[in-house]
Amino acid sequence: MSGALEGTIVAAFGRHYEVLLADDSLITGFPRGKKSTCACGDRVAMERASLDQAQILRHLPRTSLLYRSDAYREKLIAANATQIVLVVATEPSFSDELLTRALVAAESQGMRSVIVLNKADLTERLPQARGRLAYLKALGYPVLELSARADAAPLLPFLAGELSVLVGQSGMGKSTLINALVPGALAATREISTALDSGKHTTTHARLYRLAHGGSLIDSPGLQEFGLTHLSSSAIEEGFIEFRPYLGCCRFNDCRHQSEPNCAIKQAVAAALISDRRYEQFLRLTTRG
């Protein structure tokens, strides 16, 4: 078949995609139906429609799929990513719950996680933000303090050989990081104005960038919610990495770690082997979805 070809989605606009071909050229890919089921990072099989357009027939098997969901829909963030880079900042203030949820989603896909505390140059707010991340650092998640504006290099060693996806709330500096790490990227960034503009996202679609020293980075639009309705309760339990040694040790197989007797998780909390804070976060996730 003369028209068949494969490529990698490097930008996802919803109704259409930018697809990178093996010869480094770009083609516009359109999904077959109205519903788009592909994400940035997907490898796709296509049929060429014209010189610069192709129809996407299907995505090839994925090694991971990072997405969020609520009762109504799923939002794909990235396919085949090996690592999530969670970007928070000294300001604006960040949400603990969002961070936890994104970590659980990444764990469910077997992805590595790195947390970047950006805008470290705003030193007045730094100790507080650092303090708010200490419990995650204690769990073993790398927490890198840096200033994307001044020097993003501390992140580089973590990116080699990985397909990383930058995830975080709007205004944390994801696109600024992209511009610092990828010469010529020209990702749009925006000052967050104190009033009306806040909450608006500067980045409107995911885009994949290749790093000169190996590895790739996906920039994604800022998010305020990270629904996990697609995850089973066991996937959520396992997403709390420090729970893992105790899973399967409760008296009841279907223990929800709430008020059941002889619950290994609650015993671990009582013995301070699991922090109260993480246990509370777990309860919030499993009772709210």
Residues forming the site for Mg ion (CB under 5 A): 174-175, 202-203
Select from Mg ion, Zn ion, ligand GTP, none the partner in contact with residue 190, using the beta carbon and a kind-dependent cut-off of 5 to 8 Å.
ligand GTP
Which residues bind to ligand GTP, rule: CB under 6 A?
A: 118-119, 121-122, 147-149, 168, 170-176, 189-192, 201-203, 221-222
Q: Would you say 5 or 120 has its CB closer to ligand GTP?
A: 120
Any residues with CB less than 8 A from the CB of 184 and at least 6 apart, and which?
none
Residue 65 partner contact from Zn ion, ligand GTP, Mg ion, none using kind-dependent CB cut-offs of 5 to 8 Å: none
Residue 243 burial class via C-beta count within 10 angstroms: exposed 0-12, middle 13-18, buried 19 and up: buried
Q: Choose the contact partner of 263 out of ligand GTP, Mg ion, Zn ion, none; CB within 5 to 8 A by kind.
A: Zn ion
Nearer to ligand GTP, 164 or 176 (CB): 176
Give which of Mg ion, Zn ion, ligand GTP, none residue 192 binds (C-beta under 5 to 8 Å, depending on kind): ligand GTP
Using CB under 5 A, pick the residue from 120, 263, 269, 274 that binds Zn ion: 263
Of 146 and 250, which CB lies nearer to Mg ion in the complex structure? 146
Q: Which is nearer to Zn ion, 137 or 284 (CB)?
A: 284
Measured between alpha carbons, how far is 268 from 252 in angstroms, rounded to an integer? 16
Q: DSSP characters for 198-212?
A: TT--S--SEEEEE-T
Rounded to a whole number of angstroms, the minimum distance from the CB of residue 286 to Zn ion is 11
Binding map of Zn ion across residues 231-260, x = CB under 5 A, - = no contact: -------------------x----x-x---
E-state strands within the chain: 4-12, 17-21, 26-31, 43-48, 53-59, 65-69, 74-79, 83-89, 112-118, 143-145, 163-167, 206-210, 216-219
| Nearest-approach distance from CB 40 to Mg ion, in angstroms | 14
Angle, nearest 10°, between helix axes 276-288 and 96-108?
Answer: 70
For 2, the 3-state DSSP assignment is coil
Tokens coding 227: 């629904």
Q: Is 226 left (phi over 0), alpha (psi -120 to 50) or beta?
A: beta
Contact residues for Zn ion, defined by CB under 5 A: 250, 255, 257, 263, 265
